[in-house]
Amino acid sequence: MKHLLITTIAAVVLVGCATTQSPEPSTAKAPDILIADAAFDGNIKAVKQH
């Protein structure tokens, strides 16, 4: 039982110390139309881009 506890603690410490990569900034440009106007007009493509 003690071995299981030590193994679990070691796993938690190793996972907690793992380095994470920051996400790349988005380069996609939002459409020129407002999302409310696109939804009102039924422009599904522009709504999906928002």
**Residue in this structure with the two tokens 């440009």, named with its chain if needed:** 29
Q: How many domains does the chain have?
A: 1
Which domain, by its residues, includes 29?
1-49
CB 47 within 8 A of CB 38: yes
- 3-50 per-position pLDDT tens digit: 999 999 999 888 888 777 777 777 778 788 888 999 999 988 888 887
Q: Is 20 helix (H, G, I), strand (E, B) or coil?
A: coil
Q: What is the pLDDT of residue 4?
A: 92
Q: Is 35 helix (H, G, I), strand (E, B) or coil?
A: helix
This prediction's pTM: 0.41
- CA neighbor of 31 nearest in space, from 22, 39, 23: 39
**Residue in this structure with the two tokens 């996972």, named with its chain if needed:** 15
